[in-house]
Amino acid sequence: MTEATPFTWEPFLRDWSGEWSDSLSDDGTHAREDETARRDRWLGFPAAAEDRIAALEERLGRRMPPSYREFLAVSDGWRHAGGFITLLAGTGEARWHNDASGLAAMFEEYLDEDPTPEELRDVAVWRRGLQLDVESDAMSVVLDPEDVDENGEWAVYTWASWRAEPPERFPDFATFMRAMHREFHRLRARPADGEPEFVNATARRLDAQVEEARLWALGGDWERAGRALDEAKEYGRPRADGLGDQIRRLLGQTDLSYQDLAIDPRYAVELLPPLVADYARHRHRDDSGLKYSLRGATDDVVALAHTLLEQVRSGTYRYTAAGPFGEAVDRARESARWGDTDGAWRTMLDALPLWQPLGPDHLAPLGWVADPLLGPLLTPERGRALLSAPRGGQAGEPRGEATPSDPTGLSWLADPDAPGDHTSYRFVLVEGVEPQDLPGRLADGTALDEPMTFHEAHSRSLRGRREFSGFEDRALVAVGRAGARWSFAFDGSRPRLAPRLFVSPAAAACADGRAVVVWGGLRDGHGDPFFHLSVAQSGAELYAFTYADGEVRRTGPIPPALDPGRFFTSRMEPVGTETAIGTERALLEAIAGEFGVHLPRHAITWGRLHMFTTRSWIRPPQDGETFTVTRFE
């Protein structure tokens, strides 16, 4: 019975009783009351007559809420409500709790000086509530006469010490009982040895619903599939959680189990990588908890998991897939490594209809989210786009569209709300040169490092370093493609501002084509804005300007579109003001338009790119100049 189905007590309680009876073994060890309930296929009691319900209300001084009243008119109490309430009160047992359990006093001890309304309620409910638990496994149940909805229904609160959670609230008694029915199903869905197979109309309906949901999900109707799987999961149906976790992972949720699918040899190659990657991200170097995730796995799967963990931590894991989709994955990785994350994503999404599941419980490619280059492609919007695309042989059109995550041009660098910390930035754009050739233009004898984040690159650059010079400004840059025939080297750290010492690397970067150097978003020693642009061609500077100390210094014939007089008409306001941000954005837009370039925000901010360290961006010290060198022994 779904939540949308009209609810009546008699058939609901009869079905529950029959399911409970059929779930018992034949070993004859049941209590006498349970044997009677099993024989009669009825967990309840005779219906309470109206005068009996009225007597209860007169004794308590309150009219009972509608759903509890209707329940009593069908069964005056209930046995085995869920897995931990042995006997639920009828007209004879219901009584005001009056903190008989001491829970109000206990929760009161936890209150601080400024408790929330919810925390105060968790104290009061045990003093004013109507107690419904008669026999239970340390489970307390009360109806709250002060938490009443527009239909006169009282909320139900439950609490058990072994759950170590705040009291759980249900809006009314009927909702509480349906939750207990689901709990009964969850606890019986996987029978122990010697227990009968848990087969009944509810289980069969939900298992058929799970299979329908699988086809809906493969066809791109993931929201409908998710709702169906969530309902089946609440009843503990075996496949629902594993299928649903695949949807949840692509929506950005982590710490998922995939309900043993990850340790199934058929699916391990796809589902173990995200499980291991999420484990490594949250638990750092502690491997003890991984054994819990792998309980029941074969030795081969355990060995694979530890190999994957080592690869994920070292950044060497590479996702592969069979067939045309796998070929698209390889092309996408090549695009991503040079910063074209939108192109990489489009390549994967366009090939998704060619993807085939590894078995009947596989909904989507998932191993790629652990790949150091492909994993950063995932955003909530892209996850929804992937889930909305038909795949695995299902026909249909995509139900959603993945909008590009990267803005065009360069002006995003001036946005104070942009992701990442790029309030300061500098970069070199080189025309007619591939990204892998940039170290030869901007460094001496340096090769590209493997793709990594700026944080990883900075940590690596400091490892083992013992000497730091005060007269050196070598940039740790990420490289990639910045448009047709352009490559970039981007410094995402907070470089020191030294306008009088700065030497543009533009001329050294271009042997034939053009090179552009931009340094902006910085403060000098007085907190004033700073912006530098220099352009060179064939090894010689063409023009440049620097705005610092409220003045513009310029050299060479600057094109009208980039003339600093268009942007710096007076002394700029301090960095961060609307005017300063607008000026910086306009400058960046003009540069992007003049050269037809852009920088990939997603790759720079969230992705992994090849890195190298440039030559110093400031001139060597001259005679008579002093500086500090710090050495650590």
CB 56 within 8 A of CB 76: no
Q: Which residues contact 582 (CB under 8 A, 6 or more apart)?
A: none
pLDDT of residue 72: 98
CB 195 within 8 A of CB 8: no
Q: Is the domain of 505 the same as that of 363?
A: no
With b for 16 or more beta-carbon neighbours within 10 A and e for fewer, the 57-81 pattern comes to: eeeeeeebbebbbbbbbbbbbbbbb
Structure tokens at 163: 């759950």
At 447, the pLDDT band (50, 70, 90 cuts) reads confident
Looking at residues 35-46, what average pLDDT do you find? 95
Q: Is the domain of 471 the same as that of 547?
A: yes
Question: How far from the centroid of its chain's Cα atoms is residue 471's Cα?
Answer: 43
Q: Is the domain of 138 the same as that of 176?
A: yes
168-170 β-sheet, strand order: 95-96, 130-131, 139-148, 154-160, 168-170
**Helix/strand/coil for 162:** helix
pLDDT of residue 324: 96
Q: Is the domain of 358 the same as that of 497?
A: no
Q: Is the domain of 263 the same as that of 325?
A: yes
At 497, the pLDDT band (50, 70, 90 cuts) reads low
Q: Is the domain of 250 the same as that of 167?
A: no
Q: Is the domain of 352 the same as that of 415?
A: no
At 619, the pLDDT band (50, 70, 90 cuts) reads confident
Share of the chain above pLDDT 70, in %: 91
Residue with structure tokens 């984040």? 453
Q: Is the domain of 108 the same as that of 47?
A: yes
**Helix/strand/coil for 180:** helix
Question: Does residue 622 belong to any structural domain of this protein?
Answer: no
Q: Is the domain of 512 the same as that of 589?
A: yes
DSSP for 277-332, please give it.
HHHHHHHTT--TTHHHHTTT--HHHHHHHHHHHHHHHHT------SHHHHHHHHHH
Q: Is the domain of 299 the same as that of 178?
A: no
Which residues face 488 on adjacent strands?
429, 480
In tens, the pLDDT along 457-493 reads 877 776 666 666 666 788 899 999 999 899 999 997 7
Distance of alpha carbon 92 from alpha carbon 109, whole angstroms: 33
CB 253 within 8 A of CB 223: no
DSSP for 443-493, please give it.
SSS--PPPSB-HHHHHHHHHTT--EEETT--EEEEEEEEEETTEEEEEE-S
Distance of alpha carbon 595 from alpha carbon 513, whole angstroms: 12
Residue 160: half-sphere exposure toward Cβ, Cα within 13 Å? 10
Domain end residue (candidates: 173, 188, 203) = 188
Q: Is the domain of 425 the same as that of 461?
A: yes
Question: Does residue 199 belong to any structural domain of this protein?
Answer: no
pLDDT of residue 2: 46
Question: Does residue 268 belong to any structural domain of this protein?
Answer: yes
Provide the domain count of the chain.
3
Question: Does residue 465 belong to any structural domain of this protein?
Answer: yes
pLDDT of residue 475: 87
Domain end residue (candidates: 167, 188, 209) = 188
Residue 18: which CATH number?
3.40.1580.10
Q: What range does the domain containing 535 cover? A: 411-616
At 411, the pLDDT band (50, 70, 90 cuts) reads very high
Q: Is the domain of 19 the same as that of 162?
A: yes
**Helix/strand/coil for 519:** strand
Single out the residue of 463, 419, 20 nearest to residue 202, CA to CA. Answer: 20
> Looking at residue 263, what DSSP letter applies?
G
Question: Does residue 518 belong to any structural domain of this protein?
Answer: yes
Question: Does residue 204 belong to any structural domain of this protein?
Answer: no
CB 430 within 8 A of CB 513: yes
Distance of alpha carbon 289 from alpha carbon 24, whole angstroms: 35
Looking at residues 502-528, what average pLDDT do you find? 81
Question: Does residue 213 belong to any structural domain of this protein?
Answer: no
Question: Does residue 216 belong to any structural domain of this protein?
Answer: no
